Structure formats: C-alpha cells, structure tokens
Structure 1
C-alpha cells in the first residue's frame, strides 16, 4: 500500500511539472490536471477499498497527509478552470474587478465557514493529539453538530475531516492564485504580454527546480542581503520566467522529505557548471 501511494504521488508531481513546462493557458492546464487528479483519486480509492491499512499509523497518515493533498489540488484546479473559462475579458478594469470580487468572496467564505472552526485551529496549530479521532474511518462523532456535507461523502473512503482539510488546502492555493491575478506586479503574463524583448525568456525545467533555486538564494541571503521575503523573491522569478508558483510552500515541504538528495536541481547545476568549465580549459 505504502509503495503504491508513493508511486502515485510521484506521478502527480511529475504530471504537474510536465503540464507547467508546456506553457499552456491556465484554463487548459487546470482542465488537464482536473482530469488527471480525478483519475488518480479513483485509482487510490479502489486500492484502499481492496486493501486494508497495515496499521493505525498508516491509516492516519493517508487521511491526514496524502488524500487531502490530492483532493485539495483536484478542488483547486477545478475551481481555477471554472474561473478562467468564466472570465469576461483578458485585461483592464473589468478583468481586475472580476478577480477582485472572487477574492472577496473567498475571504468571506473563509471567515464564515473555516477560520472559526475548532478543526481549523487544530490544523493551523499543527497538533496531533486528536489525529486518531479526525483521521480514522468510522470515528465520525455526530454529537459535534457536523455540517450536512458529512452525509454526502463516502464514509468508506473518508473520515469527513480529510475532506475539510482538502478544502482548506484548496482555498489556500486559490487565495495565492487570485492575488497573482489581481496584482499586476505579481502577474507574469500581464506584465510580459507586451514585452517583445522577453518573449524568448522562459523557464524550461520543472517548477520544483525553480522553487529549489529560489529557496537556495533566499537561504543564502544572496539577493538584497537577504532582506526580502521568500514570497517577494518568488514573484521576481515568476515575472521573469512567466511561471506561476502558487504551491510554493507545499513544494518546499515535499523537498525536505525527499529520499536521497534533497537538492537535486542544485546538485545538477554544480555538475553542469563543472563540466562546462572543463570544456573551456
């Protein structure tokens, strides 16, 4: 079970990198990722229903860390597709107003439905003491006055709270995405659309490789003596290379838990530079 899940997660990360490297329109990228993630979730569900978890720890890890990440991104990409295909114009005041209104709605929903809940505070605090209640099958406590959504999910493949965490993840990703769309300084496409001199400048490696480079420069203090934040630094690279990095922190977390080298791209940079130096001798 564990090996199978690891392979599927690797497939998802590779697919995201593959789609982002094609420089497609956001709507097309979101649509393809929606189809792909939906298929992956169906495969995982089939495997989980056929094979029980080895132990409680594996079950908790799946419903706390694995499924919410996949479902959260599925919800996110589906929302992005709907947003992009409903946008009335491609620029101007109406364009900014459209995304601005969506951001207001998202903030309102966050205040009304998420931030005041006990589970959200539990999630944000990084607690683990109630994991056995939140992330195990058959542990739903209806005395907590749960929302009606609990009756609409498949409780053979959900603890209810894994869905809630998935929506939190989706909202966090969508919040960063909308911020990028409404701020010209944070929108690579809008800034570079009319700049012919930069049309041939684009990132041809994976998003994870770029994120690795950004964090390396941030950690070393190599830019502005380390006085600018990671978010602002990442925006500089988004603008330069026209690559949206909305999943910055989650991607970095995955890098920290990589097997083998955690700095794959930086290792390759060193090798490539040394090989280039040898050619110049």
Structure 2
C-alpha cells in the first residue's frame, strides 16, 4: 500500500491550494473540501480493507500521521461551513459576538475533553513508546474508560486514537480561523473605510499571493518593526482591498509544502520590478 500512501498528504495540500485559488467565498471553499475529503476517506477505507498494510510501521504511520490529518481537515472544513452558513450578519456587534461565542465553545471543549488527558500529553510530547497500542487496529482497551465515541467508530478503519489526533488537528485549525474572525481593530477599520482614496482599490492577484505578501511583511519587520500581529496586518489588507482571506494561518502552512518555489509571488514581484526598472533607464 506504500505507493498509495506515499504522496497522499501532498496531493491533499495541492487540491486545497487549487480550491482556495478558485473559491470566491469561504463557504464555497469549505463545502468543496468537505466533499473531497469525505470521498477520499471512503476510498482509503476501501483500500485498507482490500490491501491492508505491508508492515506495522506503515500501519502506525497511517493511523498516526496520515488519516488524522485528512479526518482533522474534514472536521475543520465541515465546522467552518456550518459556522459560516449560520452567521447571523456580515459585520457589526452581532457578528463579533457570534464568533467570540464560537471561540469560547472551542476553548471549553478543549479544556473539558482534551487538555488534561494522558493521550494529549503523550501526543504533544512526541513519544512513540505506545504507538503500537494507540495506532494499530484491534488494540482498543475498553477498560481505560474511553469516550462513548469509541462505540460509534468502525474498528476496521480506526484505532480510536487516530480520531483523537484528528480532533486535535481540527481544533488547532478552528482556533486560528476563529482568532482571525475575532481580532478586530476599529480604529484601522473606520479610518480606512471612511477614506475616499481607497474606495477604488482592489486586489487582483490570487488570495495566496496576498497571504504570502502579508507574511513576508511581518517576517521582515517592515510594518511596525514586526511588533504588529499577522491578524492585524490581515485586517488592514481586508479593509483596504475588500478581500476575505479566510484562515491565513492554515493557508500559509500549506504554502510551506509547495513544490518548486515556496515564495512564488515574491519571486514574481522581484522580476516585475527589475523589468520595470530596466524599462525606465
């Protein structure tokens, strides 16, 4: 099964980037990716059932690193779709309160069900001594007082703990998404929105290009000596160019897995500026 699994996460990343480039809204993006990831998991379930694994190491890697990433993103995109389609208004105090409430619910869920668990500490510490117990089929110990979700999983395609890792992955993605929705700066917002000089400015390149630029400006310390947060720079560009970038933290981490140049837009800017300089000699 190694050939099937070898590049699957990079393939998922490529598909995500393609959808992100083409989607006009976060609702569209999350809907498409929820369907894609759900179908992918169904295909993997069939392959695991028909082919199995070549050895224990491959099985552990699948249930520890591969399936949880796919399932975690599926949980994340499905939740984003539900949140976005249930949002009462586009902006204002009700909008802010809605996302603050979602963030508080996420924090509460983390505190009650994840943070203090032995498995969470095991996972975060990077330990491997119990991997054969946690990430191989047929090893579920019902005497450990597990969550009732254990009775709902398909034991032929889940070790139970792969689901717990997926929840951790999903919660991290949701946390950054909700932070981007709740970090507002009314002074920046009102100043730019009331300025006639920026009303006809629009970003005409891809969303990923703008995200790349935002992170480059932050990393270089070019804005406020690097002391302003990524989210505030994102907000400024959001108001300036009227473009919703969604979860830029997640998009940035997908960029790090790009094939070829990871700074494609910055490379393009450099070439364009040099060409412009040469024309004006």
Higher mean Cα deviation, 99-108 or 237-246? 237-246
Tell me by how many angstroms 1:80 deviates: 1.4
Query: Secondary structure in 1 aligned to 2:52?
Result: coil
CA contact (8 A) 1:69 1:169 kept: yes
The correspondence of residues 117-266 of structure 1 with structure 2, limited to 5 A, is 117-185=117-185, 197=198, 200-202=201-203, 204-205=205-206, 207=208, 212-228=212-228, 242-244=243-245, 246=247, 248=249, 251-252=252-253, 255=256, 263=263, 266=266
Tell me by how many angstroms 1:53 deviates: 1.9
Query: Secondary structure in 2 aligned to 1:146?
Result: coil
1:51, 1:119 → 2: CA distance?
29
2:107, 2:191 → 1: CA distance?
26
Higher mean Cα deviation, 235-244 or 47-56? 235-244
Backbone CA RMSD of aligned residues: 3.5
Residues 276 and 5 (structure 1 numbering): CA distance in 2 closer, same or farther, change over 3 Å? farther
1:110, 1:270 → 2: CA distance?
44
Tell me by how many angstroms 1:92 deviates: 2.2
The match for 1:20 is: 20
Report which of the two structures shows the higher radius of gyration computed on alpha carbons: 2
1:190, 1:8 → 2: CA distance?
45
CA contact (8 A) 1:238 1:245 kept: no
Tell me by how many angstroms 1:239 deviates: 5.7
Kindly provide the CA deviation profile for residues 14-54 of structure 1, in whole angstroms up to 9, marking residues without a partner as x.
33223322352322222122111111221222222222222
Query: Secondary structure in 2 aligned to 1:156?
Result: coil
Q: Which runs of 5+ in 1 are unaligned?
A: none
Kindly provide the CA deviation profile for residues 41-89 of structure 1, in whole angstroms up to 9, marking residues without a partner as x.
2122222222222222222222112111111111111111112222222
Residues 184 and 280 (structure 1 numbering): CA distance in 2 closer, same or farther, change over 3 Å? same
CA contact (8 A) 1:87 1:98 kept: yes
Higher mean Cα deviation, 236-245 or 6-15? 236-245
1:104, 1:243 → 2: CA distance?
23
CA contact (8 A) 1:218 1:226 kept: yes
2:155, 2:203 → 1: CA distance?
45
Tell me by how many angstroms 1:153 deviates: 0.6
CA contact (8 A) 1:234 1:245 kept: no
1:2, 1:193 → 2: CA distance?
53
CA contact (8 A) 2:137 2:155 kept: yes
Higher mean Cα deviation, 239-248 or 145-154? 239-248
Query: Secondary structure in 1 aligned to 2:247?
Result: coil
Residues 258 and 34 (structure 1 numbering): CA distance in 2 closer, same or farther, change over 3 Å? closer
TM-score by length of 2: 0.80
CA contact (8 A) 1:138 1:155 kept: yes
